[in-house]
Amino acid sequence: MVKIYRLVKQAKMIKTDDFSSVFNFRKRISTQYLAIHYQPNEHQRARLGLVVGKKIAKLSVNRNYMRRVLRELFRTQQHDICHVDLIVRVQKKFSKVDFKQIKQEFDGLIDKLNQRMLVATKVNTSTN
């Protein structure tokens, strides 16, 4: 199968109910700049939701930059992420200077997430 690196509409979480269900699932991994809330889904792909609050960055230019960076990081790795609904929440403002660290944190969070989901699926299959 050829990997398509487009961010298709089905890979985006937009509805409030989707966000609420992920937050209510209460599973989270965090680092200095980012926090990822996640929940397994029934779709055949990972889905992304972004939260960048005004408390983090007052100017919309800065908030939009952070969203663009996170969307791009997700887009390039979406095929390596297990089937979960992800909400990436920015905890600390970052700019172009911090890009390498943001990329490292995002990659580390995705690795940790995949490990947790692998362990969870092993536990579920062994109990059945």
Report the side by side order of strands in the sheet with 84-90.
28-30, 34-40, 84-90, 47-51
Ranges under pLDDT 70 in the chain: 1-2, 4, 128
Please report the pLDDT score of residue 18 as a whole number.
92
9-122 domain in CATH 2.70.98.60?
no
Question: Can you read off the two tokens belonging to residue 1?
Answer: 């199968």
Q: What is the pTM of this model?
A: 0.89
Cβ atoms of 49 and 86 closer than 8 Å: yes
- Cα dihedral 23/62/106/45 (nearest 10): 60
Cβ atoms of 73 and 116 closer than 8 Å: no
Domain limits, the chain: 9-122
